[in-house]
């Protein structure tokens, strides 16, 4: 794994950044912002997991910035895979999805920070540098929430409904909210339709919903109101 640039060396190399996002315009804008920094440089861009993994293997970046929604894959699953294969590579999730719902999942998947795309550029750059320095990068409210959770002040039974879902269930829930059929979800995740139906049954039980129509309605409403 590439070593972090030495802060004591005035001629230090720029930290190498990989951007993984399925929106080309956002990748371009973020790359221009990063390349304008004196201490950072973009060494690769990817729209999905296969391309991202190839770039990591070839260029060994100092940090990977990963969105949750990717072409042909899922950001959380990519974080898990990259963390398993390159455990010393710092990962920062940059996403439009609600931090309150996804930040803890991202940390469990191996990321060291979570920033929402709505944040000002300065906060994004600050998060990148904090993660490069080995620190956790979260908003103050999210950090406080996680500390309370780790301290045992709230049990599983007190968790918000969607927090009870596993990462895979939440991924499928998000796809249901996009109006995708069971077969389409199964093909996209390389799973059987029967497996998707089993996940749906588990979700209905965890969310206290009686039918698949209730699950569909809730998933659509949540997608609109909470930006999952």
H or E stretch covering 92 = strand 91-95
* Residues contacting residue 52 through CB under 8 Å, at least 6 positions apart: 18, 20, 46, 64, 66, 78, 82
Q: Report residue 118 as tokens.
A: 């709505």
Asked if residue 170 lies in contact with residue 95, where contact means CB atoms within 8 angstroms, the answer is no
| pTM summary value | 0.78
Low-confidence residues of the chain, pLDDT below 70?
1-12, 148-159, 224, 226-228
H or E stretch covering 149 = helix 140-150
Q: Residue 125: what pLDDT?
A: 96
Query: Residue ranges of the alpha helices (H) in 13-73?
Result: 24-35, 49-59
**What pairs with residue 65 in β-bridges?**
19, 92
For residue 185, which of 224, 215, 210, 211 has the smallest C-alpha distance? 215
Burial status of residue 193 (CB atoms within 10 A of its CB: 0-12, 13-18, 19 or more): middle
Q: Residue 153: what pLDDT?
A: 53
CA angle 136, 128, 4 (to 5 degrees): 90
H or E stretch covering 94 = strand 91-95
H or E stretch covering 40 = strand 40-46
Domains of the chain: 15-149 (3.40.50.2300), 156-226 (1.10.10.10)
Q: Residue 100: what pLDDT?
A: 83
- The CA distance from 138 to 115, in Å, is 7
Asked if residue 171 lies in contact with residue 183, where contact means CB atoms within 8 angstroms, the answer is no
Q: Residue 97: what pLDDT?
A: 87
- The CA distance from 88 to 90, in Å, is 6
Q: Residue 73: what pLDDT?
A: 87
């Amino acid at each position: 794994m590439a070593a972090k640039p030495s802060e004591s060396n005035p001629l230090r190399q720029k930290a190498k950044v990989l951007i993984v996002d399925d929106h080309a315009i956002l990748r371009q804008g973020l790359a221009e912002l990063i390349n304008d920094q004196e201490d950072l440089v973009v060494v690769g861009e990817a729209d999905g997991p296969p391309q991202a993994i190839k770039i990591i293997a070839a260029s060994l970046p100092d940090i990977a910035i990963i969105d949750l929604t990717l072409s042909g894959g899922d950001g959380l699953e990519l974080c898990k895979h990259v963390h398993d294969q390159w455990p010393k590579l710092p990962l920062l999730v940059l996403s439009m999805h609600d931090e309150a719902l996804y930040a803890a999942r991202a940390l469990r998947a191996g990321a060291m920070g979570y920033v929402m795309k709505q944040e000002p550029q300065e906060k994004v750059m600050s998060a990148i540098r904090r993660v490069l320095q080995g620190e956790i990068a979260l908003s103050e409210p999210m950090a406080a929430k996680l500390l309370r959770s780790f301290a045992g002040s709230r049990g599983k039974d007190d968790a918000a409904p969607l927090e009870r879902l596993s990462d895979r269930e939440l991924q499928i829930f998000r796809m249901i909210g996009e109006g995708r059929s069971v077969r389409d979800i199964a093909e996209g995740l390389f799973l059987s339709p029967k497996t998707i139906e089993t996940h749906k049954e588990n979700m209905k039980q965890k969310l206290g919903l009686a039918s698949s129509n209730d699950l569909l309605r809730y998933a659509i409403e949540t997608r609109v109101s909470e930006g999952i």
